[in-house]
Amino acid sequence: MVTLKIDGQKVTVRKLSTILDAVRKLDIPIPTLCHHPELSPFGGCRLCLVEINGSPKPVASCTTFARNGMDVTTTSPRLEKLRKTTLELILSDHPKDCMVCERAGDCKLQELAYFYGIRENRFGGEQRVYEKKDNNPFIARDMEKCILCGQCVRICDEIQGVGAIDFAYRGLRTKICPPFENDLNCEFCGQCVAVCPTGALTGKMWDQKGRQNFKEVDTVCPYCGCGCNITLHIWRNEVRRVSSKEETLNEGWLCAKGRFGYGFIHSPDRLKKPLIRTAPKDISAFPIHQTNPPLPPFTKGGRGGIHPSSFSLHPLSSFKEVSWDEAFDYIANRLKQIKENYGPDAIGGLSSARCTSEENYLFQKFFRAVIGTNNIDHCARY
């Protein structure tokens, strides 16, 4: 362990902790733009500067290891002046369109500019103008707003293991882009969007769908069985965005489905009542339980030599909307009929990762104990 003094307070942290870790342990506020606790230290924004007694220059606290006996100062007129100048330099070529920026009110840079009272910029010079390369369905890339904090690069590489983007060029021309400045072509997990401190990376689905006046509802992702915690951002009774909080079991990380796959919630195509597949002609002439033809015998090439997938895509079938009671009667009759005619192993059950563990348990119990078959499988067992 290492013990040091920060702003006069003693603190003990584990070996190989940074000064910033120790500062955070004491809950002392210190501005950062490129630091993320789950990513490797970067030291790019220079806002987390601190003074160490006996050291001639301030150092970046996020990349300097804490040492025994250090005496660290986090706030002084000199440090605040340096931070303000650094911020002014970052803002010098940043677009001034906060009024319409998707991240206004949720932008770390805007927050710091407010905190340091930066109204005008004394630094002039070249402004970045980039050709928009935005030919993807999920992520809007407004790279003129990029402050080169590198969090998107590190998360894509270190957490996601994809490495779809990196720093390109040098000096004032430095930018973050996919190889050869091609269009972004990745998994579209949106992790880069989640860590971006400004409006450089945002979700296309969120565009002009509301900013800060959301009602937030914590829930569980409806996709695979990992059970990631998500937060729905609701505005005017509609889900407008999905995010995840750092303190959850998935540590705020989500995949493309969890982050962007919520369009089904308000889709007008959603099924709201049970449908029974029927033959299109003379439907009224048949009681519901007789409308499906008897199954042909099972052979090596599938049932009756027909591949199973063709059963569900029969071109002459159509759907009839029924009540839940009718649907359950139909299912029970058909299962009984198939079991009597062909035996329980003619039936198989495919369960779902979207169900709870309890529902999946009941499902397999029903198939094994009531129907009498072990033909059980699961959509996530590829």
DSSP state, 298?
Answer: E
Q: Give alpha helix (H) positions in 170-251.
A: 191-195
Tell me: does residue 148 bind ligand FES (CB under 6 A).
Answer: no
User: How many Å apart are CA 264 and CA 246, to the nearest integer?
Assistant: 25
Tell me: does residue 197 bind ligand FES (CB under 6 A).
Answer: no
Instruction: Determine the 3-state secondary structure of 327 from DSSP.
Output: helix
Nearer to ligand FES, 151 or 244 (CB): 151
Residue 46 CB, shortest distance to ligand FES, in Å, is 5
Contact residues for 49 (Cβ-Cβ < 8 A; gap 6+): 58, 59, 60, 61, 79, 82, 83
Nearer to ligand FES, 80 or 238 (CB): 80
Nearer to ligand FES, 47 or 72 (CB): 47
Nearer to ligand FES, 64 or 202 (CB): 64
Instruction: Determine the 3-state secondary structure of 149 from DSSP.
Output: coil
Nearer to ligand FES, 62 or 164 (CB): 62
Site residues for ligand FES, 60-99, by CB under 6 A, read: 60, 62
Contact string 30-59 vs ligand FES (x = CB under 6 A): --xxxx-------xxxxxx-----------
Nearer to ligand FES, 60 or 228 (CB): 60
Number of residues in contact with ligand FES under rule CB under 6 A: 12
User: How many Å apart are CA 357 and CA 367, to the nearest integer?
Assistant: 16
Tell me: does residue 19 bind ligand FES (CB under 6 A).
Answer: no
Q: Give the burial string for 356-380 (b: 16+ CB within 10 Å, else e).
A: eeeebeebeeebeeebebeebebee
Nearer to ligand FES, 34 or 184 (CB): 34
User: How many Å apart are CA 339 and CA 346, to the nearest integer?
Assistant: 7
Residue 108 CB, shortest distance to ligand FES, in Å, is 11
* Strand ranges for 106-165 from DSSP E: 139-141
Residue 61 CB, shortest distance to ligand FES, in Å, is 6
Tell me: does residue 140 bind ligand FES (CB under 6 A).
Answer: no
Tell me: does residue 109 bind ligand FES (CB under 6 A).
Answer: no
Q: Are strands 298-299 and 302-303 parallel, antiparallel or unpaired?
A: antiparallel
Residue 130 CB, shortest distance to ligand FES, in Å, is 23
Contact string 349-378 vs ligand FES (x = CB under 6 A): ------------------------------
Residue 152 CB, shortest distance to ligand FES, in Å, is 14
Q: Are 144 and 90 in contact (CB under 8 A)?
A: no
Nearer to ligand FES, 60 or 189 (CB): 60
User: How many Å apart are CA 372 and CA 152, to the nearest integer?
Assistant: 52
Instruction: Determine the 3-state secondary structure of 18 from DSSP.
Output: strand
What is the distance of C-alpha 268 from the center of its chain?
24
User: How many Å apart are CA 23 and CA 11, to the nearest integer?
Assistant: 9
Residue 66 CB, shortest distance to ligand FES, in Å, is 14
Residue 218 CB, shortest distance to ligand FES, in Å, is 28
Q: Are 156 and 186 in contact (CB under 8 A)?
A: yes
User: How many Å apart are CA 21 and CA 2, to the nearest integer?
Assistant: 12
Site residues for ligand FES, 245-284, by CB under 6 A, read: none
Residue 32 CB, shortest distance to ligand FES, in Å, is 3
Nearer to ligand FES, 116 or 311 (CB): 116
Residue 111 CB, shortest distance to ligand FES, in Å, is 14
Residues engaged in binding ligand FES (CB under 6 A):
32-35, 43-48, 60, 62
